[in-house]
């Protein structure tokens, strides 16, 4: 009698966590993401100054009171940065989750149902893959009034494709498993099969893909904002870079207006890449044999008690 | 039985593998081995007893996580102490190997012919058209058609791949051929063919053969001598007749009894209870103790050495050569 | 006595050729279908935009009558079906329409834009490939050491940086020693060929370097993974057993196999080259395809947008096809599939 899926899930999850704990990349990635998530949640409560509050001259240099200096409106950069964390992280996570949901649904449907549904869905997916992502996002963003929600949807619009393909491949493989075929043979309903046999096995892939998608989503948010298509009422890291660029921060020598927001983006992207890849490895550990290597086996002197 | 100097000789071989969480696995525990010209030595044992590790060690094909001690002499020259570099001098020219389940032993994007001629060129046996001619001879020798040289690995069946591996191994006319389960992945008919080829070639080319397998009927039919391994040690060595009819080690007896024999008329399969010991912990006393029907108190304290029972026949059991009542 | 056993290989050379042709035909068919879908979707995309194209044209001071004229000129007052057929017909003649903004043929505008983008992204890709392969191969060979973690870490770090930010950072670092905008010095009118080329190269350097740094990470990761996997394959052990030196094993047996995934990656990246530089072109005011798309969006220049999109989509499809061809050539296993 096979154990119920929920018990399996806990065992599997615990095994993954152990593997993740031993992986330095996972730890660094997890730490970075957690740090920024916390900053996003509680940051705005801690901002020393308001983001509309003028506290000094244009592009004021960093000082003890304002460690990251001031922007071209005399607003404290650190406060802007912290405020921007919330929007950037929100868009990143929301877009990633929507894209994985859509992609996962398409992937499971295509893989499980097969036939013409599969072909049709895959042709659509292929089209979205070949169409240049950023230009399409630009077109849609231009036509649609800029807002945070719209941005999330636009980014998700193009991100779902890779998830769909991955999930579909996995589902195709899982469909042939003995447990699934047995369930089908005894006449189990499709919904039941999908939920009990297929979904639990793709959870790992879904989680890894979600985390990895965060990096892509944050990147696109920064790109769209940079091109002036973000919500002008909100502050995000991407928008801060755009403002710095358009208001000639470089020629003013105001490096503090440029470096911090980009650095934050880089750290979040790096963190989610590291963690996402680590999760993928935790779900599918591969033995690391190398038959040829820069190091070789060692010779030991003959042991004293060689016969135990 | 040959008394000439052995082509391949190993003494007191020990091999350890580093484990990911810090400990080490003592895979070979003081193994001796020797093969002379035209001799066929069979090595048998359960999975995990170290027989494949032994073959790898004889060619120095250990990973960086391994450490080894002891002595290995190829044609009289000590190689183990020289490490990877020393082994490389002898590889393929003096000692060659056919791997287990040659499904992926051939490069998938290189033609078969090239994979044979490259060894000929590497070891200065032949180049250019002469090398191609020799490659053709080699594949004919193993019973394959010429045009196989133009093919790729994925176009060949399992039996063909195994035979190609064999042809490749013989390309530089080594003195010793190591074969690790050469027929395990093959169906019975093809296995018989491949074995026939190996058998014929060892006679025609004066090869020494070390055959690792878990197929006991095969090894008793084909080999001049057999070594039985258990938990990284050699527990019995002798001729097939010695080892099969006059076995002096309880493990050997049980091993042969556990083999289903169509002709024996026995109705039940005898199996050996328990499982081999973990090799990541030191073993005191006899490693076979927990599963041995003859176990006594004395067996717990001292590991048995190989005791000579008759000429050329030895067993690592304190009761070897004696008549003991089973408990 | 030594009978030649009747060995029947799974596929003969004749079948390999048939297999190749079959594979190619399938790929070509898929590519064609995707192109047709792309063309049609392209057409619909720019008609489905809310508000009439002509009404959105951001040229100041147009009267209602002039707008009507534009609509008629561009055939926007026809039913959709006939517009589609007209569109296809024009495409067949290589006519992508006239740009709303500068009244020149879209084809000519795009051609110029592509000619500007290509040197920059090609140079950048060369940077990326060299750096990526070196990093990846060294990391795989020295797995687990500082070279591995460091190389991989640096690659991932650069890959994580937004391209526009990286460009700005490089401008900051170059601190005026290298030009930060445009493709050439406007004032360099009567200089000789050498001086002009040198000037072009100086302008090319920063954007290409930005592109290279921003993209080398993916090559490094992929080749490292591929090499690590290959080093664990049985045929590598066979090669070592044959007596080859480490370097020979890697060169003859490991590399040809490890490089397979990366050749397809390169071919596919070529397809994305054209569009991947929007951010960099904006930062460096580089008048390439990316900037053209951006400007066309802002000016609601639909013919330009339509043409650019078509160009970008088709180039991706073609390069994917190219990737398939290259893979067919390199991996014999595909031919018998």
- Residue to mutate among B56, B66, B107, with most C CBs inside 10 A, is B107
User: A271 versus C96: which is more confidently predicted?
Assistant: A271
CB contact under 8 A, A262 and C165: yes
- Say what the ipTM of the complex is: 0.88
Query: Above 70 in pLDDT, residue A188?
Result: yes
Contact C243, B123 (CB under 8 A): yes
Task: Tell me how far CA of residue B307 lies from CA of B198, B246, B296, B314, B323, in angstroms.
Answer: 32, 14, 17, 5, 15
Query: Using one digit for the tens of pLDDT, what is the confidence trace for A292-302?
Result: 888 888 888 87
Helix (H, G, I), strand (E, B), or coil: what is residue B8?
strand
CA distance B126 to chain A (A): 26
* Other CB atoms within 10 Å distance of the CB of residue C142: 17
Distance CA C1, CA B310 (A): 39
Distance CA B235, CA B229 (A): 6
What residues of B are in contact with residue A290 (Cβ under 8 Å)?
Answer: 63-64
Q: Which two tokens stand for residue B289?
A: 């103790």
Query: Given pLDDT bands bounded at 50, 70 and 90, which one contains residue B316?
Result: confident
Query: Above 90 in pLDDT, residue A290?
Result: no
What residues of B are in contact with residue A288 (Cβ under 8 Å)?
Answer: none
Task: Give Cα B64 to chain centroid, integer Å.
Answer: 22
Q: What is the pLDDT, as a whole number, of residue C70? A: 65
What residues of C are in contact with residue A270 (Cβ under 8 Å)?
Answer: 156-157, 160
Task: Tell me how far CA of residue A283 lies from CA of A106, A201, A277, C182, C198, in angstroms.
Answer: 22, 10, 10, 48, 52
CB contact under 8 A, C235 and B122: no
Residues of chain B with CATH 3.40.50.300: 8-230
| Interface residue ranges in chain B relative to chain A, Cβ cutoff 8 Å | 12, 14, 16, 29-30, 60-70, 80-81, 83-84, 282-285, 303, 305
Q: Which residue of C has its CA nearest to B115?
A: C239
- Residue to mutate among C6, C241, C334, with most B CBs inside 10 A, is C241
Query: Above 90 in pLDDT, residue C6?
Result: no
Q: Which two tokens stand for residue C1?
A: 């006595």
CA distance A294 to chain C (A): 6
Contact B144, C7 (CB under 8 A): yes
Q: What is the pLDDT, as a whole number, of residue B192? A: 82
Chain C interface includes B185 (CB < 8 A) = no
CA distance A288 to chain B (A): 11
Query: Above 60 in pLDDT, residue A229?
Result: yes
Distance CA C135, CA C145 (A): 13
Q: What's C98's DSSP letter? A: B
CA distance C236 to chain A (A): 6
Q: What is the pLDDT, as a whole number, of residue A307? A: 45
Contact B213, B44 (CB under 8 A): yes
User: A40 versus C58: which is more confidently predicted?
Assistant: A40
State the DSSP string of B211-262: EE-S-HHHHHHH-SEEEEEETTEEEEEE-HHHHHHS--SHHHHHHHHTS--T
CB contact under 8 A, C241 and B160: no
Q: What is the pLDDT, as a whole number, of residue C55? A: 52
Q: What is the pLDDT, as a whole number, of residue B226? A: 94
Query: Above 50 in pLDDT, residue B293?
Result: yes
* CATH number for the segment(s) B8-230: 3.40.50.300
Query: Above 50 in pLDDT, residue C1?
Result: no
User: C93 versus A28: which is more confidently predicted?
Assistant: A28
Q: Which two tokens stand for residue C123?
A: 């140079």
DSSP element (H, E) containing C13: helix C13-47
Lowest mean pLDDT of A43-47, A216-220, A254-258, name the range. Answer: A43-47
Contact C261, C273 (CB under 8 A): no
Query: Using one digit for the tens of pLDDT, what is the confidence trace for B41-91?
Result: 999 988 888 888 999 999 999 998 899 999 999 988 899 988 888 999 999
- Residue to mutate among B151, B182, B194, B203, with most C CBs inside 10 A, is B151
Query: Using one digit for the tens of pLDDT, what is the confidence trace for C104-126?
Result: 888 888 889 988 888 998 899 99
Is the Cα torsion angle A16, A17, A18, A20 positive or negative in sign? positive
Query: Given pLDDT bands bounded at 50, 70 and 90, which one contains residue C190?
Result: low
What residues of B are in contact with residue C260 (Cβ under 8 Å)?
Answer: 109
Distance CA B226, CA B213 (A): 11
Query: Using one digit for the tens of pLDDT, what is the confidence trace for B23-44?
Result: 889 999 989 999 988 899 999 9
Cβ neighbours of residue B125 under 8 Å, at least 6 residues apart? B119, B131, B134, B171, B172, B173
Query: Given pLDDT bands bounded at 50, 70 and 90, which one contains residue A2?
Result: very low
Q: Which residue of A has its CA nearest to C249?
A: A292
Query: Given pLDDT bands bounded at 50, 70 and 90, which one contains residue C58?
Result: low
Q: What is the pLDDT, as a whole number, of residue C243? A: 93
CA distance C192 to chain A (A): 31
- Torsion angle of C-alpha atoms A128, A129, A135, A140, degrees rounded to 10: 20
Task: Give Cα C81 to chain centroid, integer Å.
Answer: 33
Chain B interface includes A304 (CB < 8 A) = no
Distance CA C109, CA C225 (A): 42
Q: What is the pLDDT, as a whole number, of residue A103? A: 93
Contact B44, B255 (CB under 8 A): yes
Query: Using one digit for the tens of pLDDT, what is the confidence trace for C221-234?
Result: 999 999 999 999 99
Q: What is the pLDDT, as a whole number, of residue A55? A: 79
Q: Which residue of A has its CA nearest to B234?
A: A307
Strand B176-180 vs strand B95-98: parallel, antiparallel, or unpaired? Answer: parallel
Q: What is the pLDDT, as a whole number, of residue B286? A: 81
**What's A16-80 look like in SS3?**
HHHHHHCCHHHHHHHHHHHHHHHHHHHHHHHCCCCCCCECCCCCCCCCCCCCCCECCCCEEHHHH
Contact C128, C212 (CB under 8 A): yes
State the DSSP string of C119-142: HHHHHHHHHHHHHHHHHHHHHHHT
Query: Using one digit for the tens of pLDDT, what is the confidence trace for C149-184?
Result: 999 999 999 999 999 999 999 988 887 777 777 777
Cβ neighbours of residue C204 under 8 Å, at least 6 residues apart? C119, C120, C123, C183
Chains near C, with 3+ CB pairs < 8 A? Answer: A, B
Query: Above 60 in pLDDT, residue B152?
Result: yes
């Amino acid at each position: 009698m096979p154990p119920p899926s929920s018990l399996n899930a806990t065992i599997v999850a615990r095994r993954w966590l152990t593997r993740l704990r031993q992986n330095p990349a996972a730890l660094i990635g997890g730490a970075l993401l957690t740090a920024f998530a916390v900053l996003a949640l509680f940051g705005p409560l801690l901002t020393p100054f308001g983001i509309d509050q003028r506290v000094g001259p244009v592009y004021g240099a960093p000082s003890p009171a304002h460690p990251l200096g001031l922007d071209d409106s005399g607003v404290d950069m650190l406060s802007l940065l912290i405020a921007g964390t919330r929007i950037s992280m929100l868009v990143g996570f929301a877009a990633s989750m929507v894209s994985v949901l859509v992609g996962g649904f398409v992937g499971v449907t295509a893989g499980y149902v097969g036939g013409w549904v599969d072909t049709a869905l895959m042709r659509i997916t292929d089209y979205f893959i070949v169409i240049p992502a950023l230009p399409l996002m630009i077109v849609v963003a231009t036509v649609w009034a800029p807002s945070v929600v719209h941005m999330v949807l636009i980014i998700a619009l193009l991100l779902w494709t890779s998830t769909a393909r991955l999930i579909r491949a996995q589902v195709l493989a899982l469909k042939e498993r003995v447990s699934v075929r047995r369930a089908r043979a005894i006449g189990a309903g499709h919904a039941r099969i999908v939920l009990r046999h297929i979904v639990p096995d793709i959870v790992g892939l879904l989680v890894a893909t979600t985390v990895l998608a965060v990096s892509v989503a944050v990147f696109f948010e920064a790109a769209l904002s940079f091109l002036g298509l973000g919500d002008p009422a909100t502050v995000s890291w991407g928008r801060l870079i755009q403002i710095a660029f358009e208001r000639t921060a470089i020629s003013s020598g105001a490096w503090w207006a440029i470096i911090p927001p980009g650095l934050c983006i880089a750290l979040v992207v790096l963190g989610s890449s590291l963690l996402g890849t680590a999760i993928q490895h935790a779900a599918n550990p591969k033995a690391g044999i190398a038959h040829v290597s820069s190091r070789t086996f060692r010779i030991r002197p003959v042991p004293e008690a060689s016969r135990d | 039985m040959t008394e000439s100097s052995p082509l391949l000789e190993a003494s007191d071989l020990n091999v350890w593998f580093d484990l990911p969480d810090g400990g080490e696995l003592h895979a070979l525990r003081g193994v001796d081995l020797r093969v002379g010209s035209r001799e066929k030595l069979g090595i048998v044992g359960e999975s995990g007893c170290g027989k494949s590790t032994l073959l790898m060690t004889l060619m120095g094909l250990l990973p960086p996580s391994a450490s080894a001690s002891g002595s290995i002499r190829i044609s009289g020259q000590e190689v183990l102490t020289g490490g990877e570099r020393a082994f490389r001098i002898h590889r393929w020219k003096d000692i060659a190997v056919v791997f287990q389940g040659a499904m992926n032993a051939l490069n998938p994007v290189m033609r078969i012919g090239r994979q044979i001629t490259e060894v000929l060129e590497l070891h200065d046996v032949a180049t250019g058209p002469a090398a191609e001619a020799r490659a053709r001879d080699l594949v004919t020798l193993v019973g394959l058609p010429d045009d196989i040289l133009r093919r790729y690995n994925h176009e060949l069946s399992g039996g063909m791949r195994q035979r190609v591996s064999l042809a490749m191994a013989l390309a530089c006319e080594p003195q010793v051929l190591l074969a690790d389960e050469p027929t395990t992945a093959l169906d019975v008919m093809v296995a018989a063919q491949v074995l026939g080829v190996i058998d014929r070639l060892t006679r025609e080319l004066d090869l020494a053969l070390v055959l690792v397998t878990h197929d006991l009927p095969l090894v008793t039919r084909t080999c001049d001598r057999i070594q039985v391994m258990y938990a990284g040690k050699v527990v019995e060595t002798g001729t097939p007749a010695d080892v099969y009819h006059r076995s002096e080690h309880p493990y050997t007896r049980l091993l042969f009894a556990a083999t289903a024999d169509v002709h024996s008329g026995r109705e039940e399969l005898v199996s050996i209870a328990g499982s081999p010991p973990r090799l990541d912990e030191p073993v005191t006393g006899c490693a076979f103790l927990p599963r041995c029907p003859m176990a006594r108190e004395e067996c717990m304290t001292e590991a048995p050495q190989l005791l000579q029972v008759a000429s050329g026949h030895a067993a690592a059991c304190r009761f070897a050569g004696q008549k003991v009542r089973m408990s | 006595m030594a009978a030649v056993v009747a060995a029947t290989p799974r596929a003969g050379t004749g079948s390999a050729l048939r297999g190749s042709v079959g594979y190619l035909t399938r790929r070509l068919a898929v590519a064609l279908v995707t192109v047709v879908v792309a063309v049609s979707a392209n057409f619909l995309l720019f008609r489905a935009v809310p508000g009439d194209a002509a009404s959105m044209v951001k040229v100041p001071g147009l009267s209602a009558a002039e707008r009507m004229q534009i609509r008629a000129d561009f055939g926007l007052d026809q039913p959709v079906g006939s517009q589609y057929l007209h569109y296809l017909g024009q495409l067949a003649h290589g006519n992508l329409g006239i740009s709303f903004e500068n009244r020149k043929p879209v084809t000519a505008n795009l051609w110029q834009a592509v000619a500007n983008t290509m040197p920059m992204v090609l140079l950048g890709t060369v940077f990326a490939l060299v750096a990526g392969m070196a990093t990846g191969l060294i990391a795989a060979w020295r797995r687990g050491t500082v070279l591995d973690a460091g190389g991989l870490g640096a690659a991932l770090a650069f890959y994580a940086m937004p391209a526009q930010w990286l460009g700005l950072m490089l401008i900051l670092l170059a601190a005026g020693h290298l030009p930060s905008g445009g493709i050439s010095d406007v004032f360099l009118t009567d200089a000789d060929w050498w001086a002009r080329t040198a000037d072009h190269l100086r302008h090319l350097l920063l954007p290409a370097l930005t592109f290279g740094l921003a993209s080398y990470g993916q090559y490094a990761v992929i080749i490292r993974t591929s090499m690590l996997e290959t080093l664990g394959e049985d045929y590598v052990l066979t090669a070592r057993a044959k007596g080859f030196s480490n370097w020979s094993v890697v060169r003859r047996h490991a590399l040809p196999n490890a490089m397979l995934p990366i050749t397809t990656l390169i071919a596919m990246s070529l397809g994305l080259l054209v569009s991947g530089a929007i951010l960099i072109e904006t930062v460096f005011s580089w008048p390439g395809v990316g900037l053209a798309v951006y400007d066309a969006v802002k000016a609601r220049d639909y013919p330009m947008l339509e043409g650019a999109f078509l160009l970008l989509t088709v180039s991706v499809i073609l390069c994917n096809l190219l990737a398939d061809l290259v893979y067919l050539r390199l991996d014999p296993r595909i031919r018998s599939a």
